[in-house]
Homo-oligomer: A and B are copies of this chain.
């Protein structure tokens, strides 16, 4: 059947979807979520079918296409295309098998991941897969195969180095910007750490957002490789690299219900580590009220699973359980966190000591794992000597940033407001969720200078009227909105 393209001017955010008018669909006996092949010249793409009941949405003789299909086939509005019936993806039977409690083979897992990566599954179909992995827990063997499939179906970084260090944090704690301090310490110690990081999805800043305050973070793999070969390290945005690309698509479907299928979580994290060929991995599990992992018991369970799976994948691993019940460092938001990081590395008097202490501990664990004695002392020495600061300058320069930027030169939001204690007492709790939310509505991470600066941490004494934190917003309207929201939530608990 020949149809004329109608550009729907909108993206699905993943799945390749085209819309037929119901009359045309009927001619081919097609239903919603069936598949068709679209041919444009020599290019062919198989896509999911949706059906329009009105002539207004998609008239007869037209094929409504979403942005992803436009891009894949290089289409323009009113282009002529040929469509034909295609088989449904093999994955659907495999997903059904998992829903029925079956154990998947390596081939089956690779098929599902292939279909996910290539946008062949609709949201409904992908949700069934995530749900199946959640309710019919994957075996360890399946989890390992899933990890390998996710890593293999994406680019991989190959380096002739050993060891190759990597790090991951389970997250949920504002300000916890350890990566940007760890990478220069480890690289200055002579080890290789090709770190890829994410941008924020629901937090006030991802490591990639924060690094971007100091230097560009989007590179092709070849350029990333050169940076690492020159400096021993890098801090780049993983999203530009197509490493384990199934991950992002899976996360999108997990978020609405806060589903974290353990097998999926392990596979997602470790697949990214495999794809940069890392040999030694440290995992930070912040545990506590307001963090993703709520208590020590859950953290210990997760730790054990990481250790088991990494062992089967023949990777060295250390898992540290840290205090996740309050923000770490003083700044929250890209610019404010970048200031914290530079202050630690520059040995500034105003550096946040909690962040420094955590980084030295983790660096010590990494060095120990790599067979270096007295790791923690060595990490502290590298920091104290200024070698770590020299190294971050080297990396910033290699990534195309200005290595001489000082913390004070990093611009912050112009609209500011200080929140003060309503009574005297001791800070008994700081709510991670409230802190993140406020930093976000102040403008972070989109506006680098937006966020907040904490003057107090849990356990600190405060007098009535003393500053608790300061808000930095990028517009007066945002600052007003933050003030409005602060009438309904209290980030600090003073007792």
Q: Contact: A128 with B259, CB < 8 Å?
A: yes
Answer whether A259 and B99 are a contact pair too, CB < 8 Å, given A11-B53, A57-B11, A135-B135: yes
A38-76 with Cβ < 8 A to chain B:
50, 52-54, 56-58, 64, 67
Residue among B10, B27, B52, B99 making CB contact with A52, cutoff 8 Å: B10
A481 vs B26: C-alpha distance in the bound complex, in angstroms?
12
**Contact B135 A256, beta carbon cutoff 8 Å:** no
Task: Report B-chain residues with C-beta under 8 Å of the C-beta of A387.
Answer: none
Contact of A257 among B10, B99, B256, B259 (CB under 8 A): B99
The answer to the question of A92 belonging to the interface, with a C-beta cut-off of 8 Å to chain B, is: yes
A478 nearest CB neighbor, chain B only: B27
- A422 at the B interface (CB under 8 A): no
Interface bin, chain A:
35 or more
B95 near A257 (CB under 8 angstroms)? Answer: yes
Q: Is A440 an interface residue (CB 8 A)?
A: yes
The answer to whether A107 has its CB under 8 Å from any CB of chain B is no
Docked Cα-Cα span, A127 to B32, in Å, equals 15
Chain A residues with a Cβ under 8 A of chain B: 8-11, 13, 19, 26-29, 31-33, 50, 52-54, 56-58, 64, 67, 92, 95-96, 99, 101, 122-125, 127-128, 131-132, 134-136, 201-202, 252-253, 255-259, 437, 440-441, 443, 446, 477-478, 481
* 20 intermolecular pairs with C-beta atoms under 8 Å apart: A9-B57, A10-B58, A11-B54, A11-B57, A13-B32, A27-B441, A27-B477, A27-B478, A28-B441, A29-B440, A54-B67, A96-B258, A99-B134, A99-B257, A124-B256, A127-B127, A127-B128, A131-B131, A131-B132, A135-B136
